[in-house]
Chains A and B, each alone.
Chain A
């Protein structure tokens, strides 16, 4: 998409920098929601049957497909556990996050 997929925060230094209409200028990608997580999903690739169910049900769009396998994006995964719960072969473990 054409939208600026910026990771940085947008800084509007003075009121002059404000657009005339309050409108969105960038995505939420700067907001690293992975910090909310207490438990992290770990996918066991050996057992994975590539059904795509974990990808389908992630509310945070934090599972993407790479080389035909699901990969968790820990920058954004909030650790809700839906992927582990829904995986039909139970190959996703939720492990305690070390703080």
Chain B
């Protein structure tokens, strides 16, 4: 007989996301939601625009989440959240964390104007962008979060995306919001820590969560978490925190970065790339990594 041992659970045990939801097998966005709600707790209200999560949650009259959700129009995650927060304050509720929860399309493209407005007014909301790097829910169309080289249905193999990913974190830093951070579903403890910190901060908070998507990236569902980790270990998606657009701090210090090829080869969306194109991508990652490290002071 083994000695009596207890399970080592490194995350809060409470679950606010139930099973039976409609996400694909191995979905990264569901993990993002599970972890964020673990950090925020039951006093939370979400504003969800059109995105995968508008579907995953379930059709009327069901919902797999145990917190309130408001399904809003595509471009209005941040403005709906601002309004909801103002309304709650009017009726004396100062406790509830109001969250704008949008995908990369609803953040980088369609919702950018509302987000910028809310950030400039410093509305007391938490904005979470779960980034799966394309419009997955409508059939994998390119967004401005799609990385260079990727296949999508609107950037087919012969005309793969030839523009780099938009740097949303630099845009948010330019708004000088009280708190912003990047996180990956490959590092849930770090993610929950950042969510808790965001919850305690007042003003606009922005969380950018890297959420691999097996259906859109043509990766194996079991590799989702591994991809979330590799994105960080290759330096492609550095995890950092910022306050008022400054004091950049790396949360996971990567001593020896893995080659980008390790990350790329697990995904069908990059299969067509030649060695030269891969080299270009690697150089881009190296340059950005050097920039971030310099910004964080070594």
Partner-B contacts on A (CB < 8 A): 1, 3, 5, 10, 12, 19, 22-33, 36, 50-52, 55-57, 59-62, 65, 68-70, 73, 75-76, 78-82, 84-86
Contacts and interface: CB of A to CB of B under 8 A. Distances in A.
Given A50-B8, A55-B9, A68-B6, A27 B62 contact: yes
Interface in B44-79: 57-58, 60-64, 66, 69
Interface stretch (B13-21, B117-125, B273-281): B13-21
Interface residues on B, range: 35 or more
Contacts of B203: none
Given A12-B61, A50-B7, A82 B221 contact: yes
Contacts, number: 129
B225 interface: yes
A61 B9 contact: no
A23 B58 CA distance: 12
Contact of A79 (B4, B6, B21, B25): B25
Contacts of A3: 66
Interface string B199-234: 000000000000000100000111111100000000
8 nearest A-B residue pairs (beta carbon): A81-B222, A28-B20, A24-B63, A76-B19, A80-B26, A31-B20, A80-B25, A28-B64
Nearest to B222: A81
Contacts of A19: 61
